[in-house]
Chain A
Amino acid sequence: KAGVTQTPRYLIKTRGQQVTLSCSPISGHRSVSWYQQTPGQGLQFLFEYFSETQRNKGNFPGRFSGRQFSNSRSEMNVSTLELGDSALYLCASSPGGIYTDTQYFGPGTRLTVL
């Protein structure tokens, strides 16, 4: 089975711009979670989608949003970029997003905001 894929792998944007990141889960997985990884804050949960519905959301401002399509692929969008949004954004998929499920991670998208 193919693993979780994320595109693009690297992005450079300037402050004030917006960005869209894409995640394709493992075939058959219906839950997609997104995380932000920074040296200062570590790994922080952004949100989770299951069957095109956001079921859970972390403590991030409304500039961070996402969606999931009928084929379980997911996108996240960050509007009005700030320098502090520079991070590695990881998505993970699991069969159902329940607490005993293993989450499988993609390689991440490295976002640099100048």
Chain B
Amino acid sequence: GNSVTQMEGPVTLSEEAFLTINCTYTATGYPSLFWYVQYPGEGLQLLLKATKADDKGSNKGFEATYRKETTSFHLEKGSVQVSDSAVYFCALSNAGGTSYGKLTFGQGTILTVHP
């Protein structure tokens, strides 16, 4: 079946530091890959997505590249801000009838950025 593994957290950084959150997946075929962010007391917001190999998703300074050879979709940002403090989820969806409307999530990574 499908699965997503994220790096262990929590991650604590100083403002303007470089961020990497690792995400690897197991899936058959060519899944779509997503990063979502959740702020305290809120639902999930899409951060970026990629739907085929070698695609790069980007938004608000965050980037991730769909690497099929390493089954990875690592999230990066060159300079984090305090406002980036949140929980980040890597997720995938796959084709096929039993996958309709289903996202498979990683366990989430808590990011805290200090001034």
Contact = CB atoms under 8 A, between A and B. Distances in A.
Given A43-B89, A99-B95, A102-B49, A55 B100 contact: yes
A114 B89 CA distance: 29
Interface residues of A, number: 30
Contacts, number: 73
Contact of B99 (A43, A56, A94, A108): A56
Nearest to B43: A105
A97 B46 contact: no
Contact of A48 (B36, B51, B96, B102): B102
Contacts of A108: 42-43
A42 B100 contact: no
Interface of B: 31-32, 34, 36, 41-46, 49, 51, 89, 93-108
